[in-house]
Amino acid sequence: MKRWMLPLTALAIALLLPLLLDPRGYWIRVLAFTFLFAAMAQAWNIVGGLANQTSLGHAAFFGIGAYTSTVLLLKFGISPWIGMIAAAGLGGVAAFAIAIPTMRLQGHYFALATLAFGEVLRVVANVWTSVTGGASGISVPFSSPSLLTYSFKLLRPHAYVALAALVIVTVIFEIVRRSAMGYRLRAIKENPAAAEVIGIDTAKVKLQAAIVSGMLMAMLGTLYAQVAVFFDPDTVFSAASISIRVALIAILGGIGTPVGPILGAFFIIPLEELMNDWFSASAAGLSQLTFGLILIAVILWRPRGFVTLFKSLSSRFGGASA
Amino acid sequence: MTVLDVRGVSKRFGGLQALSDVTFSVGEGQIVGLIGPNGAGKTTFFSTLVGLIRPDRGSIALDGRSIVGAKPHRVAAYGMTKTFQNVALFGDCTVLDNVLTAGLLRHDVQAARDEACRSLDRVGLLAIADKQADTLSFPERARVELARALCTGPKVLLLDEVMAALNPVEMREIMTLIRSLRDDGITLLVVEHHMRAIMAICDRILVLNFGKLLADGTPKEIAGHPEVIEAYLGQSMEKHR
C-alpha cells in the first residue's frame, strides 16, 4: 500500500460526509465543529506535540481571533477573510508576548502560566465592553451569503471551510515536523541541555513554534466566529471548553503526530454530543460524568494515544509490507 | 597555534569550590587528557567550557574569541561542543535523527542527513541508524553521542567518558577514531577513567583535584608525578582495574 493511500481515502470520506448529513440537521453542525476542533488541536500540536510544551492557554489566541475579525466586520465592514489575516497578526503578537516570560518554564509550570494567560484575556474581554461588548456577547452581523463574505445560510459550506482549514493546518504541521525546525523541536522535547550543546538556539526555536501555533489558532478563532454567529468572552476564552479540550484532543489522539489530533477530535467531539443527547433530559450532570469515565478508560487503555492503535495493527497485519 | 585558552576560571556552588583558578591553553590538533578522582570537577569544567555553566571568574577564549557568557548554541556555532557523561540522547528519536539534528547547525536537512551518515559510519554505527536511540546498549549510546557531537563540525571536541563500559576491542576502535579525528585537525579534550587508554592516546594530560589543576604534562611526566600518584593514581588504579 502506498503511503498517500490512507490520507487520500480519509480525505475522500471527509469530503463525502457533509453530503450525507441533513444540511439543516444537528449532526452537520457537530461535523463542522469536529473539523474545526481537529484543526485547533493540530495547531496546538506544533507546540504541545513537537516540543512537548503543554499549553493550557491556547484559548487566548482563539478568542483574539474570534474578536479581531468580528470587531473589524462590525465596526468597519471589513471582510472576515481580511479579518482573519489581522487575527493571525494579533495572535502571533500575543504568542510572542506570552512566550517570552514562559519560555524557560517546563512541565507543570509552563502549563499553569499559559492557563493564567488565557484567563487574564477572558477577564479583559469581559471588562472591555466598548470593544468586545463585554459579558453580554457579540453578534456577527449578517452579510449576503457567499464565499467572498464568508457567510452562509446552511452549515454545509461551513463544514467544507472547516475541513479545508483542517487540511491546511495539517499540511503546515507536517511541513514543520519534517523541516529543520521539527527536528530541533523534538530535540528540545527530549533533552534541552543536549539540544543547546549541539547548536540549537532553544529559546528562538520555541518562540518561532509558539508564534506559528498562535497565528493558526487565531485564524481558527475567526472561523469559529463565522460559524457560531454569536459568542461571548466566557465561550471563546474558556479554559475548559477551548484550552483544555484542545490539549485533551491532541493528547488522547497522540501528540506529535499529524493523525493524533484528527483521531482525538473525531472521538471526543461526537462523544460529547452523544452524551449530552442521551443524558441531558434525565440528569444534566450524568453526561459529563459518563464522558469523564470514558476518557479515563481510554487514557488507561491507550496512554500514548489512539495513534498507537494504528501502529500495533499495522505490525500485526502488515508486518511483511511495512 | 593556540585554539583554546583558559585563564583563571573559577566556579563556586554554595559551599563547594567546584573549580578554582584553572589556567591552561591547548594548541590546535592536540589530544589532551583530563583526569582526576571522582568529584574533581572534570564534568563541571566541560560544562563551563561549552557555556552550560557560567564561571564566576576567569576568561575562556576559543580561536581568540572570548566565549564566557555565550550560550551553548553560540559556542557550538563557534566550533566547540561536548558529549554527555551520562548520555543525553534524544531517546524517542532514531539514531540517525539524533545525529542529523546536530548536522543542522551547518547544513540543511538533506545535507545534514548525508553528514550524519558519515559521522555514524565513522563510529561504526551506520548499520543501526534506524533504531530508536533508547533501545540501544550503553556503549552504543555513548558512540551515538560521539557521532552527534562530531556532526556539529567542531574544531574542539570535549569527550566525557565515551569509553566507559566498552570492551577492549571497542576501546581500541574508539582510540583509533580519536586519533583519526586529530589527524583531521580536530582538537580533543578527553575525560576518561581508563588510565592505559588515556596514557596511550594523549599528547598531554591535565590532572584536576578538588577543582584545582594539580599537574600538566606529558603522559610520562604525569605517571611519575609524586603528587598525582598520591592524589589520584594509587587509589584510582585500584578502583578501576
For residue A287, is pLDDT > 80?
no
Nearest-neighbour CA in chain A from B116: distance (Å): 13
pLDDT band of A122, cuts 50, 70, 90: very high
For residue A6, is pLDDT > 50?
yes
3-state secondary structure of A36: helix
Burial of residue B108 (number of CB atoms within 10 Å: 0-12, 13-18, 19+): exposed
Cβ contacts of A190 on chain B, cutoff 8 Å:
89-93
The model's pLDDT over B49-58, given as tens digits with 9 standing for 90+, comes to 999 999 999 9
Percent of chain A with pLDDT over 90: 61
pLDDT band of A315, cuts 50, 70, 90: low
How far is Cα B172 from Cα A192, in angstroms, rounded to an integer? 32
pLDDT at B127: 95
For residue B108, is pLDDT > 60?
yes
Q: What is the dihedral sign for C-alpha A40, A45, A48, A51? A: negative
pLDDT band of A319, cuts 50, 70, 90: very low
Region B230-238: what's the mean pLDDT?
Answer: 58
3-state secondary structure of B152: coil
Give the residue from chain A lying closest to B78, CA to CA. Answer: A199
For residue A320, is pLDDT > 50?
no
DSSP state of A141: P
Q: Which residue has the cell 476564552?
A: A237
Q: What is the dihedral sign for C-alpha B126, B127, B131, B137? A: negative
Task: Give which of B50, B75, B101 to mutate to test A binding, by max A Cβ within 10 Å.
Answer: B101
Inter-chain CB proximity B148 and A184 less than 8 Å: no
DSSP state of B94: B
pLDDT at A165: 97
Helix H or strand E segment including B159: strand B156-160
pLDDT at A281: 66
pLDDT at A314: 66
How far is Cα A73 from Cα A86, in angstroms, rounded to an integer? 11
Cβ contacts of B92 on chain A, cutoff 8 Å:
186, 189-190
CA separation, residue A187 to residues A182, A214, A303, B209 (Å): 9, 21, 22, 34
How far is Cα A218 from Cα A97, in angstroms, rounded to an integer? 14
Domain B2-79+154-239 sits in CATH at: 3.40.50.300
Nearest-neighbour CA in chain A from B152: distance (Å): 6
Task: Give which of A104, A198, A205 to mutate to test B binding, by max B Cβ within 10 Å.
Answer: A198
The model's pLDDT over A189-220, given as tens digits with 9 standing for 90+, comes to 999 999 999 999 999 999 999 999 999 999 99
The count of CB pairs under 8 A between chains A and B is: 79
Region A68-87: what's the mean pLDDT?
Answer: 95
Is B111 an 8 Å CB contact of chain A? no
The model's pLDDT over B120-166, given as tens digits with 9 standing for 90+, comes to 999 999 999 999 999 999 889 999 999 999 999 999 999 999 888 78
Pick B73's closest partner by Cβ from A180, A189, A200. A200
Region A280-290: what's the mean pLDDT?
Answer: 73
Inter-chain CB proximity B52 and A179 less than 8 Å: no
CA separation, residue A200 to residues A70, B190, B234 (Å): 40, 23, 42
pTM: 0.89
pLDDT at A322: 33
Percent of chain B with pLDDT over 90: 70
3-state secondary structure of A320: coil
pLDDT at B241: 46
Cβ contacts of B109 on chain A, cutoff 8 Å:
178-180, 183
Burial of residue B188 (number of CB atoms within 10 Å: 0-12, 13-18, 19+): buried
Q: Which residue has the cell 574508539?
A: B174
For residue A185, is pLDDT > 80?
yes
Is B213 an 8 Å CB contact of chain A? no
Give the residue from chain B lying closest to A191, CA to CA. Answer: B90
Domain range annotation of chain B: 2-79+154-239, 88-153
Is B85 an 8 Å CB contact of chain A? no
pLDDT at A306: 84
Closest to B33 measured CA to CA, from B123, B125, B177, B159: B159
For residue B59, is pLDDT > 70?
yes
- Residue A156, Cα to own-chain centre: how many angstroms? 20
For residue B233, is pLDDT > 60?
no
Inter-chain CB proximity B93 and A186 less than 8 Å: yes
φ, ψ of residue B159 to 5 degrees: the values are -105, 115
Looking at every residue in chain B, the average pLDDT score rounds to: 91
Inter-chain CB proximity B152 and A199 less than 8 Å: yes
Q: Which residues contact A164 (CB under 8 A, 6 or more apart)?
A: none
Alpha helices (H) along B36-190? 42-50, 72-78, 95-103, 109-122, 138-150, 168-183
Give the residue from chain A lying closest to B100, CA to CA. Answer: A183
Q: What is the dihedral sign for C-alpha B155, B73, B207, B34? A: negative
Q: Which residues contact A309 (CB under 8 A, 6 or more apart)?
A: A302
Q: Which residue has the cell 464522558?
A: A291
Percent of chain A with pLDDT over 70: 95
φ, ψ of residue A86 to 5 degrees: the values are -60, -40
Cβ contacts of B82 on chain A, cutoff 8 Å:
197
pLDDT at A278: 78
Nearest-neighbour CA in chain B from A149: distance (Å): 41
- DSSP symbols for A95-118: HHHHHHHHTT--HHHHHHHHHHHH
